[in-house]
A and B are shown apart, each in its own frame.
Chain A
Amino acid sequence: MSKPILSIENLYKNYGATEVLKDINVAIQPGDFLVLVGPSGCGKSTLLNCIAGLEEVTAGAINIGARNMVGVPPKDRDIAMVFQSYALYPTMTVGKNITFGMKVRKVDAEVQARKLAEVSKLLQIEPLLNRKPGQLSGGQRQRVAMGRALVRDPQLFLFDEPLSNLDAKLRVEMRTEIKQLHTNLNASIVYVTHDQIEAMTLATQIVVMKDGIVQQIGTPAEIYNTPANMFVADFMGSPSMNLIPAQVESSDNGMQVHLERGSGERLTLRDTGTLQELGSAREVLIGLRPENITNPNGDAAQIAHCHVDVVEPAGSDTFISTKLGGKSITARMRADTKVTAGEGIDLAFDLSKASYFDPASGARLN
């Protein structure tokens, strides 16, 4: 492992008596794409502003390169930032917007022109260089904002919800482009979003935050498959993970999971993979992704006949809702599944990727 490009140590941020960020510890390597994700008000944008130097920190250290940046003004941190509202300078042309930073830093006019040409070619905004931001569409403004960041060639890029002002289709396009840019430039990026799909698709590392506290740090796969607690399990993934109250009991061939069914009878499933440390018998919440409850396909998966409450065809899949453990749960069926609400259907439960949570603390048990 090389030296981290960004490391945040024991960072605290208070606004008066309110603690906004509590004991944040994050480090990323050069070339990493770190996504800070969480519901609004979780402190992710504040954390980004702290990294940028736009907000003072209350305690802790922020190192960019190997240098502690606390107290260093934004302009000396060797960073570039893309804002949610793009924050293009309205009276300057696109070209002037992109070169403003270089002009302020008194970069040679020739170098400015060369870099402007490079970046505008890369982002395909050459025809727009003499326009004002007011004459651009949302997607074009987005590109210009990225151009302004790219032209600086900083150690670290900061993105503050850059796609949330775009319409759905453009957002997906720009997402792909950002990912491509990251791959091509091998840039180190910190990216804030509340959209967990953006987080999953873009990140090499995800930080899930809630109420100013880091809930989990990991690769998208880690976050998705082994969420550290119920909040992460519920927040990441769409439709979100089914969290079903259950009783577990160890037996000779693996662990038995008892689920309450609507009529009072029990559904018992078997989990052969999960460890003994769950104890002999206890109450848990079992977390199953919708794709782990699906059409039976003949293998050893465990099957139960369930009553269908709602059918939602989504084109590529068909989602159905049923009741289990007193909660409505979602199963992801093949698109060609023929079923209507009110009928019964066989569902196969795959417990190999099941997560178990403590009902009281919400923490992961396995």
Chain B
Amino acid sequence: MTDTSTQRTGDFKNALLRAGLYAMLILFALYYLMPLFVMLVTSLKSLDEIRTGSLLGLPRDVDFSAWGKAWSGACTGVQCEGLRPYFWNSVLIAVPAVLISTFLGAMNGYVISQWHFKGSNMIFALLLFGCFIPFQVILLPMAIMLGKMKIAGTISGLIFVHVIYGLGFTTLFFRNYYITIPVELVKAAKVDGAGFFRIFWSIFVPLSAPIVVVTVIWQFTQIWNDFLFGVSFSQAGTQPITVALNNIVNSTTGVKEYNVDMAAAIIAALPTLLVYVVAGKYFIRGLTAGSVKG
């Protein structure tokens, strides 16, 4: 009898602990979701309702007009075309920049981890150093450089900046991943007759899925969310969505349209959110991926 009773107290204790754990997790989840909830409901309310209703209250009439306005009608200064053109600017910047910097990072990591040459460690150290240089430091030199290259204020200029700035991180990711691949693999491939690029494409690239996901998420988030480079190195017509969002929210003419601001902010954040939802589980897996079993 005592056996079952102690077991029962044990069960009870476990259940209590579990309940506490869930309560804690739900609390944190609510805490993090609250701002998103406020943004979402506010974007669906009319201006009148925002002024009169409560911040947390659900909208009385769901009204999507703010979303339409944010997308194609809101004013960024003198122009009133909404976020749409800037959204495409951001896509045009982020997609090539992510692809190029990921590819170059993979190349760099492959060379540094598997093809030791004189000074390879030095070059890696310098690239790493690049990760820790604050953005502000490179603004002026970069502006001069873009001017000399005649790509100042263009989309290609912004792609260039993001590729250069991302290289440190992408190289670090790939180097740390490839360093776990046994050197004998390269030796075997060399004896088999494969050269530098053949080994990269046939052996390393197929192994790279987890780290590619990590790098793409990281780079996409960085580049899409970038404001400083976007505002510094763009001109009218090439501004990314973050700059446009700022202009919409901070344009001082007329009434403050909170619903439009909220909708615009959500639109601006959607792509990164989407990337995380689609590839998030690979992100964790890639970060914790250890050695490759041969």
A residues contacting B by CB (< 8 A) are 49, 52-54, 73-75, 79-81, 83-92, 100-101, 104-105, 133-134, 141, 148, 152
B3 within 8 A of A: no
A87 to B195, CA, bound (A): 16
**Cβ–Cβ contact B190 & A91, under 8 A:** no
In the A-B complex, the 10 residue pairs with the smallest Cβ-Cβ separation, listed nearest first, are A101-B192, A75-B193, A91-B206, A87-B188, A87-B184, A104-B193, A83-B184, A81-B191, A74-B190, A74-B191
B contact patch SS: helix
Interface size on B, residues (CB 8 A): 20
Residues of A within 8 A of B207 (CB): 90-91
Residues of B within 8 A of A54 (CB): 187, 190-191
**Cβ–Cβ contact B293 & A52, under 8 A:** no
Residues of B within 8 A of A80 (CB): 191
Residues of B within 8 A of A81 (CB): 187-188, 191
Residues of A within 8 A of B189 (CB): 89, 100
Min C-beta distance of A107 to chain B, whole Å:
10
B228 within 8 A of A: no
11 contacts between A and B (CB under 8 A): A54-B187, A74-B191, A80-B191, A81-B188, A83-B188, A84-B184, A85-B182, A104-B192, A104-B194, A104-B198, A105-B193
B294 within 8 A of A: yes
| Most chain A beta-carbon contacts within 10 A, residue among B187, B191, B203 | B191
Which residue in A89, A101, A141 is a CB contact (below 8 Å) of B193? A101
Which residue in A73, A74, A84, A87 is a CB contact (below 8 Å) of B185? A87
Min C-beta distance of B284 to chain A, whole Å:
21
**Cβ–Cβ contact B190 & A88, under 8 A:** no
Given the contacts A83-B184, A104-B198, A52 and B191 also touching, CB distance less than 8 Å: yes
**Cβ–Cβ contact A83 & B187, under 8 A:** yes
CB closest chain-A residue, reference B190? A74
Min C-beta distance of B206 to chain A, whole Å:
4
Q: Which of B144-180 contact A (CB under 8 A)?
A: none
| Most chain A beta-carbon contacts within 10 A, residue among B185, B193, B202, B203 | B193
Given the contacts A85-B294, A86-B294, A73 and B190 also touching, CB distance less than 8 Å: yes
**Cβ–Cβ contact A75 & B192, under 8 A:** yes
Given the contacts A54-B190, A75-B193, A83-B188, A90 and B293 also touching, CB distance less than 8 Å: yes
Which residue in B184, B191, B206 is a CB contact (below 8 Å) of A79? B191
B292 within 8 A of A: yes
Residues of A within 8 A of B182 (CB): 85, 87
**Cβ–Cβ contact A87 & B194, under 8 A:** no
* Chain B positions 276 through 294: 1 when the CB is less than 8 Å from some CB of chain A, otherwise 0: 0000000000000000111
Min C-beta distance of B128 to chain A, whole Å:
25
A74 to B207, CA, bound (A): 24
A245 to B224, CA, bound (A): 80
Min C-beta distance of A96 to chain B, whole Å:
9
Residues of A within 8 A of B187 (CB): 49, 52, 54, 74, 81, 83, 87
